[in-house]
A and B are shown apart, each in its own frame.
Chain A
Amino acid sequence: MSNTLFDKVWDKHVVRKIEGGPDVLFIDRHLIHEVTSPVAFLGLKSRGIKVLYPERTFATADHNTPTINQHLPVADPLSANQLKALETNSNEYGISYWGLGHQKNGIVHVVGPEYGITQPGATIVCGDSHTSTHGAFGAIAFGIGTSEVEMVLATQCIMQPKPKKMRINVNGKLGFGVTPKDVALYIISKLTTSGATGYFVEYAGDVFENMSMEGRMTVCNLSIEMGARGGMIAPDETTINYVKGREFSPKGEAWDKALAYYKTLKTDADAVFDKELTFKASDIEPMITYGTNPGMGMGISHDIPDAADVEGGAATYEKSLGYMGFHEGDSMIGKQVDFVFVGSCTNGRIEDFRAFTSLVKGKHKADNVTAWLVPGSHIVEAQIKEEGLLDILTEAGFTLRQPGCSACLAMNDDKVPAGKYAVSTSNRNFEGRQGPGARTMLASPLVAAAAAVTGVVTDPRTLIEELV
């Protein structure tokens, strides 16, 4: 029988099927962080049960950690308490714990791949919706709620109905200044934020085949923003070269066995999807969002569409534009920018900092802009320094912060003030996401860089002479 990549990985992990109910799915790797795990551990305690496979769970602190002075005690008592709980729980149950200050600490979806915890063909969950990032390796990876975190700790399984399957093909060659973030924002703008609800997506076509692992992670990361449970890309040479030799990757004989398994991970030629969509790479330009959900995005040179031309209620659309202080028909070019955020599990990897730096090189940060450059992990931070990017950034008036989720969800002090505008490389522009009243425009690191040096929304193609 011909199967999709998704079927192959899913079916291999089904412990039991329940008649008229969900599948019991075995989870290979479980990632936890401070925010969504404490109540799960309380649950374990009150039931008096242990963690079944502590070696399959990995803990890192990221969501509410500060991004400056990480060597000092965390000032906010609530955050400090949550971080302490993660440490205590990890120690008590024998889970590897990468807390603040630990060399391996960083955003959960950035460090997982960096240390080889993420593997092709694995099932991976985490109490964070952007767990879909790990799908870039051909893993089935998705976000879960705290009750499910407790389930995985207790039994290494969760219960899920098998989602439907969608394939999204993007073929051709991406234009000048068009990055993986733009590809994802473009797809979401076409599908809307609920267009893939109930589906698991496979991305296929030469655009993804030619993409680096970092780019694939950016794309899979954003799958959740169109409602999909997750997204995945078939592993190939690029994937295997990335995974090989990392700390938690299989070694020796185990590697040979794993490699044989990875090679089986592709959709059969005649496999059928419940839905299939195809886009042209040449239709995609640098994107920016103008509203309060990631589906409200458009090519940066376009004007904000009229309510009549978008799906959904006009009242909701107007509420959204009202919040942003924008109007139908406005051009985004030239809009005010107060903050620029480069970071998050969407765009906090080395390639993103390379792209940002390539544009700001030889220019200077605009005086009206506060820029937060936050690497996704210590590895990214170290690489920025080693590659000499930090010198270029410093020269251009930028400083680098320490790793963490930061202004992606503003649980720490990195909050955009009410009414201020931020161009952000993160994943959500919901009302208040980056601080109460904050107004977020999602974009790529290149668009962020163009805003950072000009102080207004600017098409990066007008500033770059060379292709990145």
Chain B
Amino acid sequence: MAYDKFTILKSTGVPLPIENIDTDQIIPARFLKATERVGFGDNLFRDWRYNADNTPKKDFVLNDSTYSGEILVGGRNFGSGSSREHAAWAVYDYGFRCVVSSFFADIFKNNCLNIGVLPVQVSAKFADKIFAAIIADPKTELEINLPAQTITLVSTGEKETFDISHYKKDNMINGFDDIDYLQSIKTQIQEFAEHLPL
């Protein structure tokens, strides 16, 4: 599925400084019953965000109007657990275009890249700085520059570069996805398949 192009994003961020946030927290399994990709944002962090009677939990960050923006800043080992792409959809659907963390689980990171959410991995030190800056001043802005592969704390100008493969970077900048590419080499794939042992 094609998605919006991503180049430079300047936004405030929402801090979630908890480690090992797993995909069951991002979107609990009972919300995976849809057959279409709609409405997942409403259930993002469902059980941390709402009480059993569906009233919002006041102390959860998504229910706190002090914090807003298109960047989610999470603790270390963000997105561990299941391969459900629904977790990345929920993040996107809620309105985040970028997740910042000092460490990402593999499949979650891949899923994000496939649907147009940019995972930005920073050093643990820089992650701490970002958390501290946002908590001290929720209006703190971050600038994510994908072509330059940098993330900047706008107030102080401190920045770090982040990794992304050339291929994925081009895809995100142009809003392309892997199927477009794979379709274009279909003949090569079919020839390859003739010579496999299984």
- Measuring CB to CB, which residues of chain A are less than 8 angstroms from any residue of chain B? 12-13, 15-16, 18-22, 24, 26, 28, 35-36, 38-39, 42-43, 46-47, 49, 52-53, 63-64, 76, 78-79, 81-82, 85, 119, 121-122, 127-129, 131, 143-148, 150-151, 154-161, 163, 193-194, 197-198, 227, 229, 250, 257-258, 261, 293, 312-313, 315-316, 319, 409-411, 418, 428, 430-433, 436-437
CB-based contact A312/B76 at 8 Å: yes
Binds A, one of B65-73, B106-114, B152-160: B106-114
Contact residues in B for A12 (Cβ distance below 8 Å): 196-197
Given A39-B37, A129-B81, A147-B1, does the pair A316, B185 have CB atoms closer than 8 Å? no
A-B contact count (CB 8 A): 209
B59 to chain A, nearest CB (A): 12
Q: How close is B84's CB to chain A, nearest CB, in angstroms?
A: 7
Residues of A contacting B106 in the complex (Cβ-Cβ under 8 angstroms): 163, 197-198, 227, 229
Q: Give the complex CA separation of A145 and B182 in angstroms.
A: 16
Interface string of B169-198 (1 = CB under 8 A from A): 000000001110111011011101100111
CB–CB A316/B19 < 8 A: yes
Distance in angstroms between the alpha carbons of A163 and B106 in the assembled complex: 10
Q: Which residues of A contact B33 (CB under 8 A)?
A: 35, 64, 76, 78-79, 81-82, 411
* A409/B29 in contact, CB under 8 A: yes
Smallest Cβ-Cβ distance to A254: which chain B residue? B198
**Pairwise interchain contact B192-A436, C-beta atoms closer than 8 A:** no
Q: How far is the CA of A197 from the CA of B185 in the complex (A)?
A: 30
Query: Would you call B75 an interface residue if the criterion is a C-beta within 8 Å of the partner chain's C-beta atoms?
Result: yes
7 cross-chain CB contacts under 8 A:
A22-B167, A52-B190, A143-B107, A145-B84, A145-B85, A158-B178, A316-B18
Number of interface residues of B (CB under 8 A): 59
Which residues on A sit within 8 Å (CB–CB) of B12? Answer: none
* Cβ contact of B182, chosen from A42, A119, A151, A313, cutoff 8 A: A151
Q: Which 6 A-B pairs have the closest CB atoms?
A: A21-B167, A20-B166, A145-B85, A143-B83, A145-B111, A78-B33
Min CB distance B126 to A, Å, is 16
Determine the chain B residues whose CB is within 8 A of the CB of A146 once the complex forms.
Answer: 85-86, 111
**Min C-beta distance of B69 to chain A, whole Å:** 23
Q: Are A38 and B36 in contact (CB under 8 A)?
A: yes
Asked, given contacts A154-B183, A258-B197, whether A312 binds B19 with beta carbons under 8 Å apart, the answer is yes
Residues of A within 8 A of B80 (CB): 193-194, 227, 293
Distance (Å) between the CB of A370 and the closest chain B CB?
A: 20
Give chain A nearest CB distance to B169 CB in angstroms.
Answer: 9
Q: Counting CB contacts under 8 A, is B143 at the interface? A: no
Would you call B182 and A155 a contact (CB within 8 A)?
A: yes
